[in-house]
Every structure is written in structure tokens, then in C-alpha cells.
Amino acid sequence: MIWVATALALAGLAALPFAIEARKRPVDPQALVREGGEIAPLRHGATWYRWHGDGPGPVLVLVHGLSTPSWVFSGLTDGLAGLGFRVLRYDLYGRGRSARPAAVHDRALFTAQLGGLLDHLGIDEPVTLLGYSMGGAIATCFAAGHPGRVARLILLAPAGMAYAPAPLLARAARWGLVGDWLWLLAGGRHLCRGARAEAPRATAIPDLAERIAREVATRGYLPAILSSERHMLTELLEAEHRQVRDHGLPVLAIWGARDTVIPPPAISKLTEWNRRARHVVVPDASHALGYTHPAQVLAALKAEPSAP
């Protein structure tokens, strides 16, 4: 009987993280629209978006990264609108107010979401894409595949060249079903702990830790991060960056001098693949430079010759 009890206990332990995930609250985009923004009913599910700035200027689309929804750009949106852009931000699938589709979170899913949103909004003119971290990889893939829809590319600590994930996430990504179990068991605590550590420097998002805790408590968020780690962040985008170069699209890359997630070799890789790309390094900035050093990021954009 002891072995039966042991087997049942082990089975319960194995099932526990999946049961907890299944009992989390689902995202309700329509209810959250009351907080601002709108919903686009796209092929793979509802996509939340919001406009900033109402002038006649060119469209700039913000594409966020792995774990922080589009509110990660809170310190930049007003400044970008002040530069003359019509700023569009949206939540990637699996994050924020957007749907959590049961799909592989790869370039096909994310570029289809971006293209579908532009189609839904009737945006025909080429747009400026500003991609942060994983969003930089998504923006690069979209620009390489749809050069006629992109006027220029702004990359903020972009993935796709060199990437050093947290050890827990890296192990979970490699370990298949065991990795699923590990990430559902410990990933939420890992993300919340990281957000609490970053919060004192997150001047543009003072409630960073609370926001991440709400994401972790929403069904589908943790699986979306793990799927993205496995299928989007494993890619080296040499071919895509060379295509962007060959298409003649202007590229500005902004880096944090103390970024340990996208380490310094990424700069030399991008330089090798696209010698036309311009680079700005923000001193003392980490991977979180968009919300710890927003003034410096905006200054780099304002200094661009092609700024509105």
C-alpha cells in the first residue's frame, strides 16, 4: 500500500502545476477595453491595441517583448507622440489584454498578428516599427518579409543576434514536458522576483511588480512565455537582417551598456550583418532601458535624421 500512496502522491505533484494553471482566471479583452483601447478580432484571437497621438504624422508601431505587455512602453508613448508620430501599441498573443491561443508562439504567429492588425486598421502606408527585445526580432522578421509595409526599423535591445536567458527559463525550454512542469511550477515566482528587483529602477513603471503579478495570475501567460522562448527566441536572424539591409530600410539600434540579456556581442553581430545600421549605446542602462532610461531613448530617436 505504501507504493500505491507514493505513486498517487507523485501523480498529484506532477499534475499540480497544470491544475493550478487551468484554474487561473482567463483574459477578458472586452471587459478590459473599458480601461482604454480597442479590440481587433484577428485570425488567432482578439488583439488589444491603443493609439497615442492624434496628429497627421507617420504611424509608429510598438512591438513589445517576451514577458512585459505593451504597457512596457509607458515611458515612451507620450514622447514619441510629441515627436510627431501616431503611435500604435498592442499586446502580443499570450500577454496583456490579447487572447491566449493554443498555438506555437513563433514568428509565423507574431508576424501574422502584426500584419492582421495593420490590415484591420486599414493602414496601407509604410510604418515605422519599434521592437523591444523579442519584439525587435518580430519587427525584423516582419520587415524582412514585408518590406513594402515598413518605412524604417528601430530596435531596442533586440533579440535575434545574441541572447542569454535566465537559467530557469533556459532549462525549461530544453526539457520538454518536464520543462513545462518546471516552468508552471516555478516560472511565476521567478518573474515576480525579477520584477520586484527591477522595480526601484523602473521609473516609468513604478508598479512594475504588481503588473507582472497580474500577468502571472492570468491563464495562458506562462505557457506563452515558454513557447516563445522555444520557438521565437532560439532563432538567429542573420538572413533577415541581411534582407532588411538589401531592401534599403533604415535601421537604428539602441542598446543598454549593462544589458546582460542581450549581451555586447549582439552589437558586433548586427554590425556584421548590416553595416548600414546605426547604433546608440545608453550608458549604465540594462535590458530594461525603455522604462529605466526613457529620456535617453527618446533623445536617440529625436537625433535621427528621419525623425518626423
CATH code (residue 258): 3.40.50.1820
Please give the Cα distance from 226 to 179 (Å, whole number): 9
Is residue 120 in some structural domain? yes
Is residue 277 in some structural domain? yes
Model confidence at 304, pLDDT cuts 50, 70, 90, reads: confident
Is residue 229 in some structural domain? no
Is residue 287 in some structural domain? yes
51 DSSP β-pair partners: 88
DSSP symbols for 65-116: -SSS-GGGGTTTHHHHHHTT-EEEEEPPTTSTTS---SS--SHHHHHHHHHH
Q: Which of 301, 307, 268, 269 is nearest to 282 (CA)?
A: 301
Those residues whose C-beta lies under 8 Å from the C-beta of residue 116, and which sit 6 or more positions away, are: 40, 42, 43, 47
Please give the Cα distance from 75 to 205 (Å, whole number): 7
Residue 163: which H helix or E strand, with range? Answer: none
Domain ranges, residue 135: 39-68+76-163+237-302
- The letter for the amino acid at 214 is R
Q: Which three cell numbers stand for residue 12?
A: 498529484
Is residue 197 in some structural domain? no
Is residue 6 in some structural domain? no
* pLDDT of the residue at 159: 98
Per-position b or e across 158-177, b if 16+ CB within 10 A of its CB = bbbbbbebeebbeebbeeee
* Beta strand 150-156 pairing with 127-132: parallel
* pLDDT of the residue at 10: 40
Model confidence at 7, pLDDT cuts 50, 70, 90, reads: very low
Whether pLDDT at 13 is above 60: no
Please give the Cα distance from 62 to 298 (Å, whole number): 14
Structurally, the chain folds into a number of domains equal to 1
Quick one: average pLDDT of 55-76?
96
Is residue 193 in some structural domain? no
Mean residue pLDDT across the chain: 92
Residues in the chain: 308
| pTM summary value | 0.94
For residue range 67-108, list pLDDT tens digits in order. Answer: 999 999 999 999 999 999 999 999 999 999 999 999 999 999
Is residue 84 in some structural domain? yes
